[in-house]
Chains A and B, each alone.
Chain A
Amino acid sequence: MSAPLLAVDDLRVHLFTPRGVVRAVDGVGFSLPAGASLGIVGESGCGKTMTALSLMRLIPSPPARIVSGRIMFDGEDIAALGEARLRELRGDAIAMIYQDPMTTLNPVFTVGEQIAEAVRLHRDASRAAALARATEMLELVGIADPARCARSYPHQLSGGMRQRAVIAMALVCHPKLLIADEPTTALDVTIQAQILDLMRRLQGEMATAIILITHDLGVIADLVDTVVVMYAGKVVERAPVRRLFATPRHPYTQGLLRSVPSLDAREHRMRTIEGAVPSALAMPPGCRFHPRCALARDICRREEPPVVGDGAGGEAACWALA
């Protein structure tokens, strides 16, 4: 196999706050072949968004800083690049979609102008050519009247249309990697179905690699090949999507999957994971999940768990598997 498109190795992002150092991302690693899709799943504060922002070096700094690790993208280490080169990459080879399309779009420019901006910046196209390209993109993302949409301001569009416009903007330069941070969380379920359908189709057509960040296991199951499960700044499990849902190995993954109620069946009580995610400033020693883990033993309270492979391309960090 050739080198993957993206290889993240031992990434550590710390936040230097007045109350102490928060290890928001603490030794995260994964890789992604060209054209593949990877999902990062976890609850609030697990570090999934920080990880995504680091991939484009968009972390708020200060207080955040990448303290170690490599982010190899297409032969370059993003963690070590200068600002000028980063600006070339952003919006061209790597693009990002955020949760709320209204905050992504600038309210005082038309949608067409905003999409064209990326083309003019990265492709040196004329204003007219860029606008024409923007209109094409809007058509590609399934907007019924693309020319009119291109002339519209964001407030004139519905939430679903805005998110389509944001996707058009992200894909207009044919990025090799698309990072989507909760792209459908702000949308209603029937609109979410439209957008997921669109992303699946475009990924096939444009051969773009996707990193999907979400807390919704249903969306993950729908769209990606490989899943990374994060808890309190660490990767607890990584596995192909079918394997992960069929036989989750880490106790947290198991608990998370059990906590999701099914549409098909109803149990008397919902399954839960007892307790709550620990405070970022007071992480428990050893395995960070041990205070909530039914399998916790002495060693879990003392030492960080080893990463154990499953011989089929997956791995999990747990003493119970060692």
Chain B
Amino acid sequence: MPGGTDQTTHPSPIALPQGEEEPRPLPALSTGKLLQVRDLTKHFPITGGPAGIHTIGQVRAVDGVSFDLAAAETLALVGESGCGKSTTGRMLLRLTEPTSGSIDFAGENLLELGHRALRRRRREMQIVFQDPYASLSPRQTVEDIIAEPLDVYRVCRTRADRRERVSELLRLVGLEAAHLRRYPFEFSGGQRQRIAIARALAPGPRLIVADEPVSALDVSIRSQVVNLLQDLQDRFGVAYLFISHDLAVVRHIAHRIAVMYLGRLVELADRDALFDAPHHPYTQALLSAVPAPDPERKRARIILHGDVPSPARVPTGCHFHPRCPIAQPVCRESVPSLRTVADGRSVACHFAAPFPIDRYGARAAQP
């Protein structure tokens, strides 16, 4: 087969124009769920004491996060620095080992896999990092960068086949085959991110964790890369865990959105449901804090006081209660569980009735 054969049973990643292979079919899962994450937790030890070898505390980076992701779906994970969104993304690929919890990927608990089995599975899970200046080796040509996953999984039998595949990947991400022999420094930030995307796409993943993939890019380039990610999803049915702090981009690309605060999910909802009627007070504040590119709309802001507490000293009860405008005594004492309140919307708040808010404006006056 000119399209290259696998050592494994994976479908081919890319439908080559002259190849005999089918375009990669959508994953046929009985449940429809590609990924099921349950109670995922990561506590980093803080060492100290006289010799610096005793654990004197825990940074609770991720604290019991659960969500599902279907094939060809985009779930956005949003939140501010230190909320644990990147740690969550890295744990899905076991780039960071979870403390506890389970990650079911295509029916297999990733946390129980041995080294070899994990390596095989990782072919289906790839990652794109934020900074394309740091994630591409300056000493490798574009061809070698993109072919690395192909080499790891021995996808190509001949050099010509390898080159053909890399050229096709370059075309897919909007670059030219003429770029094969160049080095990363010859490309702009947006082009580099395209190279990183081509590399992630090379082994034919079903899931790509995209950790702030457009945050380092300029406005006019950012939208080009977002469109590319959407096109690739339409074509190959890849699912994205899209980690971002940019709510406007998230509104555009995500099907569902999970909001994190200090290691926990506070709200999880369909895109429009979340933006039209955020239920959690933190989600409301977060949405209202985004400056609108429209001077006519001086919308009332919910300005949160204080800073996000350190994950090494998390507040009791609801993590958000010290900054929450509607906190009650119960919020200090008991942890609100993430409960389903309506069609597909889950909220972790003791008072998560839909508060009367005007569109992105302030909450209507409380009685």
Contact = CB atoms under 8 A, between A and B. Distances in A.
Interface of A: 43-44, 158-161, 188-194, 196-197, 215-222, 241-242, 245-246, 255-257, 259-264, 266-267, 269-274, 276-277
Chain B at the A interface: mostly helix, strand, loop or mixed? helix
22 contacts: A43-B221, A160-B307, A161-B307, A188-B80, A189-B289, A190-B303, A190-B304, A193-B288, A193-B291, A193-B304, A197-B301, A217-B293, A222-B291, A245-B294, A246-B296, A256-B220, A259-B219, A263-B360, A264-B359, A266-B271, A267-B252, A269-B230
Given A221-B294, A245-B294, A276-B190, A259 B247 contact: no
Nearest to A276: B188
B221 to A, nearest CB: 7
Contact of A260 (B219, B275, B301, B303): B219
Nearest to A194: B303
Interface footprint category on B: 35 or more
Which of A160, A197, A259, A270 is most buried by chain B, counting CB atoms within 10 A of its CB? A270
B303 A193 contact: yes
Interface string B190-202: 1100000000000
Nearest to B253: A270
Contact of B219 (A161, A256, A274): A256
Contacts of A192: 289, 291
Contacts of A259: 219-220, 222-223
Contacts of A246: 296
Contact of A272 (B223, B248, B252, B287): B223
A266 B76 CA distance: 15
Contacts of A197: 301, 303
B327 to A, nearest CB: 16
B111 to A, nearest CB: 31
Contacts of A269: 227, 230
Which of B223, B285, B286, B290 is most buried by chain A, counting CB atoms within 10 A of its CB? B223
Nearest to A222: B291
Chain A at the B interface: mostly helix, strand, loop or mixed? helix
Contacts, number: 125
A245 B295 CA distance: 7
Nearest to B360: A263
A99 to B, nearest CB: 14
A43 B80 CA distance: 24
Interface string B238-252: 000000010111011
Interface string B210-244: 00000000111111101100100000000000000
A139 B105 CA distance: 52
Contacts of A271: 223
3 smallest beta-carbon distances between A and B, as pairs = A218-B291, A270-B223, A188-B80
A79 B291 CA distance: 35
Nearest to A189: B289
A263 B283 CA distance: 13
B81 interface: yes
Nearest to B288: A193
A153 B296 CA distance: 41
A61 B77 CA distance: 44
A197 B285 CA distance: 14
Contacts of A256: 219-220
A297 to B, nearest CB: 21
